Amino acid sequence: MNEALEQVILRRDTWRGRSPHFGGLGLSANSDSHRGGLKSGYGALDAALQQGGWPEATAVEVLSDSSGMGAMGLFLPAMEQLSTQGRWQAFIAPPWTPYAPLLAARGIDTQQVLLVHPRSREDLLWSIEQALRSSTCSAVFSWLGDAQYRYSEIRKLQLAAASSDSLCVLFRSQRAAIESSPVGLRLQMREYRKVHILKQRGGQQQLDVHLSPNDELSHQPQLWELPVWPSTMAGNSALEAG
């Protein structure tokens, strides 16, 4: 295992996925498998994205008025695909505890979910970079909150994502839209099931994409609308729709 990532995993404030209910015993979710192109699971969005899905070798910024957890509905199909790789799906500084039964109902292996709760801004940026530079994460979802970040700080994460085979998603406040960013894809969640492509390297920009409910799995819970989940791990108790 990458030595730097091992330091993150061994920390006392990092939870390691073991069972479908975020507890118990089991094997770690690491393997040497890698991913190719990755469909978003939404036909209209794939058609608008330059690579026909989530782009490789770049970070994706998602700007939202809420905590960003409602926007996780965008990545539910990708998470399910990535579960077949047997690698970690890292949640770094999530504002709420992921609701394990919902993820399991959507075919996501919760034994592969890794929760990291950084103690500081520097710790947050370091954890994201190390997770990306390791070979043991198929996805790295990170919540940067309302704080302002220097261009150089985001560029460092972009460079790590460019050398990685992980899906890299940075959730940020809508206020970040006025700042320039080195990432290859910037999205805004302005309305329910509507994505605005703010920036896209090599593709269409300033484009609204409506997400059809027909692309959702029928009779399955969506990550846009989450139930409350009592937590003893992070001090928070629910994911909010956004």
Inform me whether the pLDDT recorded for 220 exceeds 50.
yes
Q: Give the pLDDT confidence of 28-43 residue by residue, as tens digits.
A: 444 433 333 599 999 9
Q: Give the pLDDT confidence of 115-140 residue by residue, as tens digits.
A: 999 999 999 999 999 999 999 999 99
Lowest mean pLDDT segment, chosen from 65-69, 119-123, 214-218: 65-69
Please answer whether residues 40 and 46 qualify as being in contact, where contact means their C-beta atoms are separated by less than 8 angstroms. Answer: yes
- The chain-wide mean pLDDT, for the chain, equals 80
According to the model, what pLDDT value does residue 98 have? 83
More confident residue, 116 or 101: 116
Is this structure's pTM higher than 0.85? no
Domains and CATH numbers, the chain: 3-25+36-215 (3.40.50.300)
Please answer whether residues 124 and 144 qualify as being in contact, where contact means their C-beta atoms are separated by less than 8 angstroms. Answer: yes
Q: Which helix (H) or strand (E) holds 185?
A: strand 185-191
Residue whose tokens read 């492509």: 197
Given pLDDT bands bounded at 50, 70 and 90, which one contains residue 169? very high
d(CA 161, CA 147): 21
Lowest mean pLDDT segment, chosen from 63-72, 79-88, 204-213, 226-235: 226-235
Tokens of 194: 């509507």
